[in-house]
Amino acid sequence: MNRTLVKKRIKWFTVFIMILVWPAHLLAMEPQQCPQPRFTKKAPEKIYDLMNPVESTTANLKKGKMLYQTRAKPMPCKLCHGTSGDGSGPMAGGFTPPPRNFTCAETINGVSDGQLFWIIKNGSPGTGMPAYKSLRDEQIWQILLYVRQLAQ
Ligand code: HEC
């Protein structure tokens, strides 16, 4: 294959990828509702009543932020919950119910630490919220310190 042909193919391939990615970005722009309807299954009583045992220090908040924005496996929370936490991540459009809007104090402040911890650890069955088995308990609590700060 000569070089012009290769260049042409690369160009068309790029255009093709951009067409695929474009609608995802359009869907991603809208924040989720506030107050947000919430039908998530309740955590077992003992877990529901847990309070975040990890201290709200700058170091812990920083670790939580890193996990939320980039490090968490299989994928960072921001892909669904959005960089600002308003539920507008690039993957959010694909899910019913939609991702939780962490910026919505009215909804999120009424939900206990233990409940949020439980769903991060085990996922929300029948929804797009995956179980984060790769995270240690301490890491989940660090993420929660960060997530609580996003509520306005
Ligand atoms: C693939 C998309 C996706 C990713 C990635 C994702 N979530 Fe979610 N999340 C959802 C959806 C969808 C819901 C709504 C589930 C429901 O209504 O029960 C949700 C709900 C939640 C809830 C609400 C629980 C409740 O009881 O109200 C919390 C907390 C949460 N996610 C935390 C996280 C954290 C932390 C991460 C990253 C470690 C993360 N999520 C990654 C899609 C995602």
pLDDT at 41 over 70: yes
Place of tokens 């029948």: 126
Q: What is the pLDDT of residues 57-83, one digit of tens each?
A: 999 999 999 999 999 999 999 999 999
Calpha distance 88→131 (Å, rounded): 20
Inter-CA distances, 142 with 63, 69, 71, 125, Å? 6, 13, 13, 23
144 lines ligand 1 (CB under 6 A): no
Q: 145 CB less than 6 Å from ligand 1?
A: no
Position in ligand 1 atom list of the atom nearest CA 128: 12
For the residues 147-152, what does the mean pLDDT come to? 95
Q: How far is the CA of 148 from the centre of ligand 1 (A)?
A: 14
For the chain, the residue count is: 152
In terms of C-beta density within 10 A (0-12 exposed, 13-18 middle, 19 or more buried), how is residue 151 classed? middle
144 touches 52 (CB < 8 A):
yes
- Our answer on whether the CB atom of 38 is closer than 6 Å to any ligand 1 atom is yes
**Confidence check: pLDDT of 1 > 90:** no
